[in-house]
Amino acid sequence: MSAEPGLLSARLALGWLIGGEWRFQPARFLTTAIAIAVGVALGFAVHLVNGSALASFDGAVRGVSGAAELSVRATSPLGVDERLYPRVAGAAGVLDASPMVRLDARIGGAKLTLLGLDVLRAGSVTPSLVGITPRGPDTGNDTVFDEASLFLSRTALAQAHAAVGDRVTVTANGRAVIFHVAGTLPGADAAAALGVVDIAAAQWRFGRLGRIDRIDLRLSDRQAAEASLARLLPADAVLSSEAARGAQGSALSRAYRVNLDMLALVALLTGGFLVYSAQSLAVARRQRTFALLRTLGLSRSGVISAVMVEGVTIGIVGALAGLAGGYGLAWAALHWFGGDLGAGYFGMATTRVVFQPVAAASFFALGLSAAVLGSAIPARAAARAAPAAALKNVGDVLDPRRPALWWPAAVLLAAGAAAALLPAVSGLPLFGFLGMALMLAGGVAGVPWFARTMLRPLAKRTVGSVPSQLAVRHLYGAPAEAATALCGIVASTALMIAMATMVSSFRGAVDTWLGQVLGADLYLRTDAGASFDPATRARLAGTAGVGHLAFSRQLPLTIAADRPPVSLIARPERDGRDPLLVLIERAPTMPTKALPVWVSEPAQRLYGWEPGETITLPLAGGTRFMVAGVWRDYGRQAGAVLVDEADYQRLTGDDGRDEISVMLLPGNEAGAVGKAMAVQLPADLRRHVEITQPATLRHMALTLFDRSFAVTYLLEAVAILVGLAGVAATMSAQTIAREREFGMLRHLGLTRGQLSAMLATEGALVGMTGAVAGIGLGLILAQVLIHVINPQSFNWTMTTQVPVGTLLGVAAALTGAAAATAVLAGRRATAKDAVQSVREDW
Amino acid sequence: MSATSILLDVHGLAKTVPGPRRLFHSLDLQVAAGELVAIIGESGVGKSTLLNILAGLDDADAGSVSIGGTVLGSLDETARTRLRRERVGFVFQAFHILPYLTLLQNVALPLALTSPDGAAAKACAAEMLSAVGLADRGEGYARDLSGGELQRVAIARALVHRPALILADEPTGNLDPDTATRVLALFAGAVREHGAAGVMVTHSDASAAVADRVLTLRADGLVERRVR
């Protein structure tokens, strides 16, 4: 006798059994492998796109920053007084300093970052930003100091369709200036669209005299420099490292990327459930095979191994195919949608796919794990079955009297709810996702109880057609069997409904909000840093048909170096009655001398600002404001603060405005007044002003919203398709496995039509049960998405708006698909000769 | 029957099933090498349960079962599985021929469970298939065969690893009388030729007729009904 009835000695038999099953049921293996492949492909593709976009965004940031060790940066585009430069240059620990003006500019339609720098200082601190003429380094210094010389990076040259030697018009800060392209910036990052001119030319010709935006530093002692500069810097400047700038860029899109990653994993999770369904059914179908093998001497671990080897193989094949598919998808997505998949986070960066081996290994492992875990429970069930009883096949294993347990589902749902109540971890809603996973597991675990409860009234009926009674009794007596078929579809439906409800609520909230904030008849906006000066504003106010004009200024304002800047909005706040201020909360009282600031909901959540609190904003050397209230804002994820226009002008001296809201006099038509206002604009400003009606703005905003969520919709659709494929596969597998039952019923006198009716009823009941359970669970999960994940990720709140049409559509599609699949599979199962079905050995 | 040739030795076996209902007690049975014993009895008397206990698939409430000198009660589940794999052969009423394996692979399965040597297993299986009259059908599948032929394949599978004990549960229950007679003759001949101890449970006197001894299972044990 050998030492062990072990797996090694039985490997030949296991090989035969697994190989034979694959030849016998190739479609089952293919379907489950595809389910895993789709999940891995989506997850890997989204990860690759995010990673590639971030890498290129990072490159662009480095390209513009010139890889300085440390920089002093102005907190807003108003810049800082240039007299700060000599003080910074002389600070302890600073070896050299390079002052800089930074402007958002255009050459024709091409956007670029224009830097004005002192080439002598930059040569020592950020040499990659120093231009090279075609003749080589400019040793005579005549070209680099020429106020008309412009050096462009390769990307900027390509985007502007310019060449060295050309004359180009650069527009920035509302002014257009002609430059001569004197050379290139070979040291700049390939992804950066960058232009460099002399700092004096930039200050003089673009209206920035006396102001600088950045001072790049070369250090002798970083610690000493950080300490001395912290004491020296005014409130409207921050110390910023390359790491902080990377974090700033990453923070902007991190929540979006994490959510997209999680959504992609949903498809993988659904794939895992599908493997579970398929393997469970395969195990149920082969119960007597495993019983025979156990009788012949295969150990329990041998049976488990047989099922697990199948799962591992499905996982390996599916995961490898998924990685290949994911790379292709990422390439296609970057090619057609861009690095932010249409969400608008990485506007200026061009992106190519960067293969990430660690991510590939992780997603391979995830795909494999989904397949292995999906097989583990069926494998245990296969090994646990008593061989003698299974071989006899008497009465099968179903006992209609056996209660379906409700408490495991209740415990999991309660644990999920408790997890969802926990706060975010490093700004990410990790416990929210854990809560969703637990609730999903709870929902799936509760399906047998739910199915039985739902079918109880039908099962108690004694009247009705035989086919429908048989269908109801079968499902009522075997809810766990139905649950096996349903778990994939319940999971994918629930997640799809949750996402759809969240997006619908979000879209509804944005739509309502747009209706509230777009209260004017016309809007005028400038681009390329142009602004409406007081004289222009006065002329516009006198245009025929204009009733009232409200002017505003919007600037980015950096509160913390490692966070994206908030939007500073200067408008006539009118004690909170400005239409933009859709108030959520306001301070009970405001001292008369206090400067009011109205903070947006994301700003409140990000910086912890509460109504009535006094805060210091880095404006005009640091100014204390009192938070007058919190307003709803879905337009600025990084937060916004609104100060009164008059306070802003008094504090900064900036009399430019970049947006005008126009209220018309009664009886005037917006289009005609818009044209009349355009005539009032100076010629050089006219082409930088966009005149829009609120309906157009609303349409544009909602189009942008839909574009941002296009990938979400796509991922949802894939998840539901995987789920439907699961229903099709499991329904057909269950139907085919009942061939002998159908043969017996044919013997008893049921016609094939009655059998088809029975199967259609069963399929419809299964589909409907899945749809109702999935929708119910989805609405619960949606509450976590809306009230936990969204606020923790994006810092805005909303109320639930149920997409009734989508819910009804999903319920109808699932019910129809399940019924149709059952009938189609039943045609094959009932087409066989009834006698043959009964006597068939297996 | 000499003591040394006894391959199956059962003493004082008792079994109660949930209900509770006592199936049998004080059951003794000895089967020698090359001997085929038929056990008959009414439905529900415990024939299949007795076979399951003899195979180590079910536990008795009292008594002992020894196969080739190995007492089942002293073995854990792993050791019982090993014993079954190497020393017990089975023939079932429903033939249980796996539809996705060739007939040769079906017959070779007990050997393939113990050794990775596929060529040797298939050679033995081919020899056994030939012995049951299906020499040229090894590469076929179950769906190509009649019920009688399937049961012959099952007999070949039960014998291929030269077990000490062969257990048959209503082996001809699914066959017509003529086919049943031929299959039983083959089965009885194979048991004797291989020198195994054979136990067959049946409710058919005609089937029992091929056995060397026929015993009736009653609540108080086995009663000798006929000796060849």
Quick one: which of B131, B135, B104, B133 has its CA closest to B120? Answer: B104
Residues 5-44 of B with CB under 8 A from A: none
* Among A21, A22, A841, the residue to mutate for chain B (most B Cβ within 10 A): A841
Question: If you write DSSP's letter for every residue of A2-36 in order, what string do you get?
Answer: -S---TTTTHHHHHHHHHHHHHH-HHHHHHHHHHH
First to last CA, chain A: 32
Apex B129 CA angle, B127 and B135, nearest 5: 90
Reported as a single tens digit per residue, the pLDDT across A388-407 is 666 665 444 455 566 778 89
| B-chain residue closest to A8, CA distance | B116
The tokens 């304002």 sit on which residue?
Answer: A557
pLDDT tens-place string over residues B153-211: 998 999 898 899 999 988 887 778 888 888 888 889 889 988 999 999 988 888 899 99
**Which pair of tokens denotes residue A525?**
């906006």
Q: Which of B52, B100, B174 sits opposite A23 (nearest CB)?
A: B100
Strands A149-152 and A175-184: parallel
- Higher pLDDT, residue A393 or A435: A435
pLDDT band at A2 (very low <50, low <70, confident <90, very high): very low
Residues of chain A contacting residue B167, judged by C-beta atoms under 8 Å apart: none
B3, pLDDT greater than 60? no
Q: Which helix (H) or strand (E) holds B94?
A: none
Looking at chain A, the whole-number percentage of residues with pLDDT higher than 70 is 84
Q: Which pLDDT belongs to residue A3?
A: 42
Higher per-residue pLDDT: A202 or A495: A202
Burial of B108 (0-12, 13-18, 19+ CB in 10 A): buried
The percentage of residues in chain A with a pLDDT greater than 90, rounded to a whole number, is 24
Spatial separation of the C-alpha atoms in residues B27 and B223, rounded to whole Å = 9
Chain A partners within 8 Å of B55 (Cβ): 295
pLDDT beyond 60 at A65: no
Q: Which residues of B touch A10 (CB under 8 A)?
A: 112-114
> Between these two residues, A292 and A245, which has the higher pLDDT value?
A292
Per-residue pLDDT band for A835 (boundaries 50, 70, 90) equals very low
Last residue of a domain, one of A692, A724, A748: A692
Contact between A273 and A487 (Cβ < 8 Å) = yes
pLDDT at A340 over 70: no
Q: Is A168's pLDDT higher than 80?
A: yes
Rounded-to-integer distance, Cα A143 and Cα A122, Å: 15
Residue A615 lies in a domain: yes
Least confident of A133-147, A177-191, A409-423, A754-768: A133-147
Contact residues, chain A to chain B, C-beta under 8 Å? 1-2, 4-5, 8-13, 16-17, 20-21, 23-24, 288-289, 292-300, 302, 386-388, 391-393, 839, 841-842
Tell me: the pLDDT tens digits for A119-166? 888 888 888 888 887 776 555 556 666 788 999 988 889 888 989 889
* pLDDT mean across residues, chain B: 87
- Cα–Cα dist A701/B50, whole Å: 78
The DSSP line for A288-312 is HHHHHHHHHT--HHHHHHHHHHHHH
Return d(Cα A262, Cα A502) in angstroms, integer: 15
Residue in chain B lying closest to A10 (CA): B113
A-B C-beta contacts closer than 8 Å: 103
Residue that wins the pLDDT comparison between A641 and A376: A641
Q: Which domain holds residue A102?
A: 79-235
Cα–Cα distance measured from residue A486 to residue A491, given in angstroms and rounded to the nearest whole number: 8
* DSSP secondary structure code for residue A574 in this structure: G
Of A316, A64, A321, A233, which is closest to residue A621 (Cα–Cα)? A233
| A644 strand-pairing partners | A571
Choose, out of B59, B82, B88, B161, the residue to mutate when testing the contact with A (most A CBs < 10 Å).
B82
Instruction: Name residue A136's beta-bridge partners.
Output: A133
3-state secondary structure of A184: strand
**A10/B112 touch (CB, cutoff 8 Å), yes or no:** yes
For residue B181, report the phi and psi dihedrals to the nearest 5 degrees: -60, -45
Residue B114 at interface with chain A, using a CB cutoff of 8 Å:
yes
- Burial of A69: CB neighbours in 10 Å, binned 0-12, 13-18, 19+: middle
Residue A485 lies in a domain: no
Confidence grade of residue B34 (pLDDT, cut at 50, 70, 90): very high
The CA distance from A302 to the nearest CA of chain B, in Å, is 10
User: Is the CB of B113 inside 8 Å of chain A's CB atoms?
Assistant: yes
Whether the pLDDT of residue A415 is over 90: the answer is yes
Q: What is the pLDDT of residues B105-117, one digit of tens each?
A: 889 988 888 888 8
Say if the Cβ atoms of A294 and B86 lie within 8 Å.
Answer: no
Structure tokens at A386: 């008593």
The verdict on B106 touching A (C-beta cutoff 8 Å) is no
Q: How far apart are CA B200 and CA B38, in angstroms?
A: 5
Domain endpoint, select from A663, A692, A721? A692
Q: Is A90 exposed, middle or buried (0-12, 13-18, 19+ CB in 10 A)?
A: exposed
Residue A101 has pLDDT above 90, yes or no: yes
Within a domain: A158: yes
Check if the interface score ipTM surpasses 0.85. Answer: no
Q: How far is A273 from chain B (nearest CA, A)?
A: 26
Q: How distant, in Å, are the alpha carbons of A253, A260, A562, A606 from that of A250?
A: 6, 14, 9, 15
Q: Is residue A757 part of a domain?
A: no
Res. A248 pLDDT band, cuts 50 70 90: low
Nearest to A269 by CA among A420, A374, A408, A381: A374
Helix then strand then coil, in percent of chain B rounded to 5, is 40, 30, 35
Within a domain: A510: no
pLDDT for A63 equals 55
- Indicate the average pLDDT of chain A: 82
Distance, in Å, from the CA atom of A332 to the CA atom of A334, rounded to the nearest integer, reads 6
pLDDT band at A598 (very low <50, low <70, confident <90, very high): very high
Residue A278 lies in a domain: no
Token pair listed for A183:
């050379």
More confident residue, A503 or A831: A503
The whole-model pTM stands at 0.70
User: In angstroms, what separates the C-alpha of A38 from chain B's closest C-alpha?
Assistant: 29
Number of domains in chain A: 2
Question: A596 to each of A78, A236, A605, A629, A652, how far by Cα in Å?
Answer: 21, 19, 18, 9, 16
Residue A471 has pLDDT above 50, yes or no: yes
Q: Which residues contact A137 (CB under 8 A, 6 or more apart)?
A: none
Min distance B122 CA to chain A CA atoms (Å): 11
Cross-chain residue pair B101–A17, CB shorter than 8 Å: yes
Inter-chain CB proximity A20 and B85 less than 8 Å: no
Q: Count the neighbouring beta carbons within 10 Å of the beta carbon of residue B4.
A: 8
The mean per-residue pLDDT over the stretch A306-314 comes to 87
B86 with A391: Cβ contact below 8 A: no
Q: What is the DSSP letter of B3?
A: G
Kindly tell me the sign of the dihedral angle through the C-alpha atoms of B184, B185, B189, B190: negative
Any CB–CB contact under 8 A between B112 and chain A?
A: yes
Residues in chain A, how many? 842
CB pair distance less than 8 Å for A292 and B96: yes
Residue B79, pLDDT score: 87
Which pLDDT belongs to residue A464?
67
Closest partner residue to A297 among B86, B116, B142, by Cβ? B86
How many helical (H) and strand (E) elements, i.e. helices and strands, does chain B have?
Answer: 7, 10
- Closest chain B residue by Cα to residue A25: B100
Q: What is the DSSP letter of B100?
A: T
> Quick check: is A254 in a domain?
no
Is A12 in contact with B92 (Cβ distance < 8 A)?
A: no
| CA distance to A420, A551, A628, per residue, from A573 (Å) | 37, 11, 10
Judge whether residue A624 has pLDDT over 90: yes
Q: Among A494-503, A534-543, A570-579, A814-823, which range has the highest average pLDDT? A: A534-543
Q: What three-state secondary structure class fits A134?
A: coil
Picking from B86, B95, B142, the nearest residue to A1 by CB comes out as: B86
**Which residues from chain B sit within 8 angstroms of residue A391, using beta carbons?**
92, 94, 96
- Measured CA to CA, the distance from residue A360 to residue A371 in angstroms comes to 17
Query: In degrees rounded to 5, what are phi and psi of residue A265?
Result: -70, -25
Of A13, A388, A841, the CB nearest to B112: A13
Distance CA A305, CA A17 (A): 11
Residue A656 counted as domain residue: yes
Counting every residue, how long is chain B? 228
Give, in degrees to the nearest 5, the angle at Cα A254 between A252 and A259: 130
Listed residue (B207, B189, B199, B184) closest to B48, CA to CA: B199
Beta strand B62-67 with B6-17 is antiparallel
Q: Does B107 touch chain A (CB under 8 A)?
A: no
Q: Delineate the domains of chain B, giving CATH numbers in brackets.
A: 3-227 (3.40.50.300)
Residues of A in contact with B82 (CB under 8 A): 1-2, 4-5, 297
pLDDT of residue A4: 46
Contact in structure between B128 and B160 (CB atoms under 8 Å): yes
Prior bond of A137 cis (ω within 30°): no
- Among A643, A661, A692, the domain-final residue is A692
Residue of A nearest to B77 (CA): A299
Structure tokens at B38: 């038929």
- Report the distance separating Cα A541 and Cα A543, nearest Å: 6
List C-alpha distances in Å: A552 to A573, A642, A648, A695, A737.
Answer: 10, 10, 10, 20, 71
A20 interaction partners in chain B (CB closer than 8 Å): 98, 100-101, 105
